[in-house]
Structure 1
Amino acid sequence: MKIVALCGSMKFENEMKRIAFALEMKYNMCVLRCVYNEDKLKLGAYEILALNSAHFRKIEISDAVYVVDINGYIGDQVKKEIALAESLDKEVIFHTDFLE
């Protein structure tokens, strides 16, 4: 079973939840998902830093990153996550190449 960190823009949060479910149910992957701000709370610099640090750690412990690039969109934060994964020699899987 491959462990993947799910990376993508929060504008695709609903799609990312469905994708994570599909990856675990159909593709034998263990998905380390993003933390979703369901209540849409305003986040300060400290909270954003904490969330980013946690997500980067997920990338470090994963076998691969799964990039949700719907309509080819990859934001600046996800570009940083891809760069980290590549620097750690992690596999980078793009949604548009995998499921669509």
Structure 2
Amino acid sequence: MVGKYKVVTLCGSTKFKEDFIKVQKELTLQGIIVISVGLFGHADGEFGTIITDEIKIMLDDIHKRKIDMADEIFVINKNGYIGSSTRSEIKYAKEHGKKIGYLEPNYE
């Protein structure tokens, strides 16, 4: 299959590292270009060490630029969890007319 591929940015808490990897693989095998997080600060325990407040601001901004590049976002909301950064990304995506998909049913 060769052609125009949909681009999806993954959003969600980085504590769900295994779910990000699984969804990235599944979407890629469906012929979707996947943009994901650059690192898993929560899962890898990097907050407060490598990830300072200043870097967190930068990473949040970078992720919004990734949303700009995508046709839609896909939210990793395992067990219904959506944190404040992800809520901000969902709001941003809505404001920019992006389609939003969820790992689990969402009742926002």
TM-score over 0.5 for the alignment?
A: yes
* Pairing of 1:1-100 with structure 2 (within 5 A): 1-25=5-29, 27-37=30-40, 40-41=45-46, 42=49, 43-97=51-105
Q: Which has the higher helix share?
A: 1
- How far off is 1:40 after superposition? 3.6
1:29 counterpart letter in structure 2: I
CA contact (8 A) 2:8 2:72 kept: yes
Distance in structure 2 (CA, Å) of the matches to 1:52 and 1:8: 11
Q: How many residues are matched?
A: 96
1:36 counterpart letter in structure 2: L
Distance in structure 2 (CA, Å) of the matches to 1:37 and 1:19: 15
Q: List structure 1 segments (4+ residues) > 3 angstroms apart after TM superposition.
A: 37-41
Q: Percent identity?
A: 28
1:69 counterpart letter in structure 2: N
Larger radius of gyration: 2
Q: Unmatched 5+ residue regions in structure 2?
A: none
Please give the secondary structure, in 2, of the residue aligned with 1:96.
coil
- How far off is 1:76 after superposition? 1.1
Q: Can you list the C-alpha shifts for 1:29-87, whole angstroms capped at 9, x where unaligned?
A: 11100011476432112211111111010001110000011111111111100000000
Q: Unmatched 5+ residue regions in structure 1?
A: none
2:69 counterpart letter in structure 1: I
